[in-house]
């Protein structure tokens, strides 16, 4: 429900409407503080209320010229923001021009929590997707510190009435209403109680609309999590938004009933994806003149004292999406399987906050579909990677080559003089890590390792930049590049412990047949990255040898410097023939035995014995 705002001076109302400003100065001796009201485009919503003492009148004590000065800055702000300039930079220019204090989104305390609850729900409500979730962590230590929540307790209510939903705090000072637009809801927190400790959310409980308020224990919530889905009702699919929670790694409704898909399979959060909210083009501002102070009661802190009047308003600022990205590539992840590395040049838009990765089995699925429809298109998957979560490598990285660290079970890449790991997902639903690197000439680059479900099968990828307001190119007026990518299986089985190490290798050598024999051997069960070999996986064995080498030999000597030797397996044992090398007394051989998979890994030109866990053994003919 939108609160009424009363003014003694009608001229103020005209100023508020100028350039779409919605001011919240309440000058009424009969209306109590009304808290927040939301104002968005086309009759939606916005925030903030301040109440001067009743004896103060706007005609005598309040200079409405502040509105004119604010309005004069809006076209300048719009032009600045549309260039992709960070909003804080644009506001600094307005502050210098007016002498006023300009702040973006200045809510704290109860107002901040109230708005975040609403925004989380509306992200689901306004998203064009289904079978997705919207989540907000209302209890992180940084969130509590930033918004001054420590030691406070708040209670909020959500009420569904026909095709509308309303939100309010327990005092009624904060209120908001929205149309559900035909979207149903079975489980909503009719009552949401949050108690904040010094560093975390000490208690979060919800009372659900489908349960009676009396005699029913509240449901404890680890975070605010809404699920947008399409349940079947009377044979028809309808859209619904419900409060859910995580329970033992699975998703559950507040009744403890499990969240399932159409086949009845229990779902975890990894089975879903975050809902993509619509771009936000309405910006919230707080502006005050530090030189003009009034006796004002502020419901946010409950105090009446001399302070500047803060004008809260919302304004439409045009915001063009970041341009199409350049340098997009999809490369095989070396010495791995079911993996690729996407790379692209950093967006030229300074307000880029995330990147979206689109993947499909064919380029047509991506190139012919508008962005707004891609996330819901069958066969298309979407990953969102936030720039604030990127690990900065601060150097150029050669992603085409790496050295496998057998102890770490990962490949190590070179980033200038540093050695870095590019962690790759190994299971469905596992989120990848975004990395920021540099090109050779110092330009920003991003890298993203990701899982590929089938080796050797080409897939198509596209990457877009998303700005702070959720804008990205539409793939209609501005097309993105679609790149092919394939995962090559070049991950070998481990060769550690195939045969036992003999104190005297010569004791197993037969001069007559010129053969080195091991009475038994143990086939490996895992790859060098410790993943299980596929069963059944046909294995073979290869031996490599160097006779009287002129160079020092170590586990770091590439297999490509060795010569291949015949290997045979029989009666549970394994033999290596040296006959082709014409062995003679006094000759010294350096030998390496490796296990090979069906793809022929390890290929000699790619690995050293150390990378695959193999041992270099020495045989001297005597």
pLDDT of 300 reads 60
CA 223, CA 143: separation in Å to the nearest integer?
A: 13
CA–CA gap between residue 194 and residue 190 (Å, rounded): 13
What average pLDDT is seen over the chain? 81
Are the C-beta atoms of 488 and 463 separated by less than 8 Å? Answer: no
Is residue 170 scored above 70 in pLDDT?
Answer: yes
Asked if 160 and 185 count as a contact pair (C-beta separation under 8 A), the reply is yes
Residue 217 has pLDDT above 50, yes or no: yes
Query: How many CB atoms are located within 10 Å of the residue 239 CB?
Result: 17
Per-residue pLDDT at 485 exceeds 80: yes
Sequence-separated (6 or more) residues with CB below 8 Å from residue 552: none
136: burial class by Cβ within 10 Å (0-12, 13-18, 19+)? Answer: middle
Beta strands in 149-281, from DSSP E residues, in sequence order: 153-161, 164-169, 175-179, 189-196, 201-208, 219-220, 224-229, 232-233, 236-237, 240-243, 245-247, 250-252, 273-274
Task: For residue 399, give the DSSP letter.
Answer: T
- The neighbour count for residue 304, using CB atoms within 10 Å, is 13
- In 3D, which of 560, 564, 522, 515 has the Cα closest to residue 543? 564
Residue 41 has pLDDT above 50, yes or no: no
CA distances for 456 relative to 337, 489, 529, angstroms:
10, 7, 19
Q: How far apart are CA 330 and CA 344, in angstroms?
A: 9
What is the predicted pLDDT for the residue at 190? 84
Q: Between 502 and 16, whose confidence is greater?
A: 502
What average pLDDT does range 496-510 have in this prediction? Answer: 79
Match 């020495």 to its residue by tokens: 618
Please tell me which of 117-126, 236-245, 401-410, 501-510 the model is most confident about, judged by mean pLDDT: 401-410
pLDDT confidence tier of residue 24, bands split at 50, 70 and 90: very low
Is the pLDDT at 604 greater than 70? The verdict is: yes
> What architecture does CATH give domain 329-485?
Sandwich (2.60)
pLDDT beyond 80 at 22: no
Residue with tokens 């998203």: 127
Q: Answer with the residue of higher pLDDT: 431 or 134.
A: 134
Mean pLDDT on 518-525 = 88
Residue ranges of domains in the chain:
10-106+279-316, 128-274, 329-485, 505-620
Query: What pLDDT was estimated at residue 64?
Result: 66
Residue 314: CA atoms inside 13 Å, Cβ hemisphere, count? 16
Instruction: Please report the pLDDT score of residue 379 as a whole number.
Output: 87
pLDDT bucket at 506, cuts 50 / 70 / 90: confident
CA distances from 199 to 142, 153, 222 (A): 8, 14, 15
C-alpha–C-alpha distance, residues 589 and 609, integer Å: 15
The pTM (predicted TM-score) of the whole model is: 0.64
Decide which of 323 and 254 is more confident: 323
Nearest to 467 by CA among 349, 372, 358, 385: 349
At 60-107, the pLDDT tens digits run 345 667 878 888 898 898 888 888 788 888 999 999 999 999 988 778
pLDDT band for 246, please (50, 70, 90 cuts). confident
For 437-471, the pLDDT digits (tens) are 998 888 999 999 999 988 889 999 999 999 887 88
- The whole-angstrom separation of Cα 564 and Cα 60 is 98
Task: Yes or no: say if 376 and 490 are a contact pair by the CB < 8 Å rule.
Answer: no
Q: Give the mean pLDDT of 124-152.
A: 87
Question: Which residues have C-beta within 8 Å of that of residue 400, sequence separation ≥ 6?
Answer: 331, 334
pLDDT in tens, 333-379: 999 999 999 999 999 988 899 999 999 999 999 998 998 888 878 88
State the sign of the Cα–Cα–Cα–Cα dihedral 183, 189, 191, 192. negative
- pLDDT at position 223, please? 81
Of residues 59 and 539, the one with the higher pLDDT is 539
Give the model confidence (pLDDT) of 407-439 as tens digits.
999 999 998 888 999 998 877 667 789 999 998
Mean pLDDT, residues 536-547? 87
């Amino acid at each position: 429900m939108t609160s009424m705002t009363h003014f003694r001076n009608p001229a103020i109302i005209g100023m508020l409407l100028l350039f779409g400003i919605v001011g919240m100065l309440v000058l009424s001796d009969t209306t109590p503080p009304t808290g927040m009201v939301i104002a968005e485009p086309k009759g939606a919503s916005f925030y903030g209320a301040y109440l001067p003492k009743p004896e103060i009148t706007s005609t005598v004590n309040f200079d409405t010229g502040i509105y004119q000065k604010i309005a004069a800055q809006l076209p300048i702000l719009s032009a600045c923001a549309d260039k992709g300039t960070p909003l804080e930079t644009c506001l600094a220019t307005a502050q210098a021009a007016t002498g006023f204090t300009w702040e973006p989104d200045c809510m704290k305390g109860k107002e901040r929590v109230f708005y975040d609850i609403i925004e989380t729900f509306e992200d689901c409500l306004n998203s064009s997707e289904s079978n997705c979730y919207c989540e907000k962590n209302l209890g992180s230590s940084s969130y509590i510190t930033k918004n001054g929540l420590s030691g406070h307790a708040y209670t909020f209510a959500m009420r569904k009435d026909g095709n509308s939903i309303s939100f309010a705090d327990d005092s009624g000072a904060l209120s908001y209403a929205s149309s559900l637009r035909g979207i149903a809801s079975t489980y909503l927190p009719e009552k949401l109680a949050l108690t904040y400790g010094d560093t975390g959310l000490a208690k979060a409980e919800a009372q659900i609309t489908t349960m009676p308020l009396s005699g029913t224990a509240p449901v404890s919530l680890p975070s605010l999590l809404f699920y947008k889905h399409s349940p079947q009702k009377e044979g028809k699919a309808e859209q619904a938004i419900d409060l859910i929670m995580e329970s033992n790694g699975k998703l559950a409704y507040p009744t403890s009933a499990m969240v399932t898909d159409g086949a009845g399979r229990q779902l975890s959060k990894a089975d879903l994806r975050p809902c993509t909210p619509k771009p936000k083009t309405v910006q919230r501002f707080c502006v005050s003149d530090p030189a003009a102070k009034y006796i004002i009661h502020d419901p946010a802190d409950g105090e009446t004292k001399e302070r500047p009047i803060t004008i809260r308003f919302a304004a439409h600022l045009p915001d063009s999406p970041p341009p199409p990205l350049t340098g997009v590539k999809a490369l095989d992840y070396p010495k791995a399987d079911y993996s690729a590395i996407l790379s692209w040049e950093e967006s030229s838009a300074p307000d880029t906050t995330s990147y979206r990765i689109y993947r499909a089995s064919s380029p047509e699925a991506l190139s012919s579909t508008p962005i707004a429809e891609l996330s819901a298109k069958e066969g298309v998957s979407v990953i969102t990677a936030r720039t604030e979560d990127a690990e900065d490598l601060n150097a150029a990285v050669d992603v085409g080559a790496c050295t496998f660290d057998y102890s770490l079970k990962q490949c190590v890449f070179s980033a200038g003089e540093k050695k870095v790991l590019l962690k790759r997902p190994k299971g469905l639903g596992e989120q990848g890590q975004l990395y920021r690197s540099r090109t050779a000439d110092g330009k920003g680059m991003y890298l993203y390792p990701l899982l590929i479900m089938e080796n050797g099968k080409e897939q198509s990828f596209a990457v877009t930049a998303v700005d702070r307001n959720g804008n990205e190119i539409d793939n209609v007026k501005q097309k993105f590049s679609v790149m092919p990518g394939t995962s090559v299986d070049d991950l070998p089985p481990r060769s550690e412990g195939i045969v036992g190490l003999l104190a005297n290798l010569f004791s197993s050598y037969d001069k007559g047949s010129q053969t080195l024999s091991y009475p038994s051997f143990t086939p490996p069960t895992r790859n060098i990255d410790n993943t299980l070999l596929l069963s059944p996986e046909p294995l073979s064995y290869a031996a490599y040898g160097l006779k009287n080498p002129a160079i020092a030999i170590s586990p770091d000597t590439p297999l490509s410097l060795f010569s291949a030797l015949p290997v045979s397996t029989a009666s549970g044992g394994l033999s290596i023939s040296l006959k082709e090398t014409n062995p003679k007394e006094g000759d010294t051989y350096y030998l390496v035995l490796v296990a090979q998979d069906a793809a022929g890994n390890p290929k000699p030109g790619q690995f050293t014995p150390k990378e695959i866990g193999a041992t270099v053994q020495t045989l001297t003919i005597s």
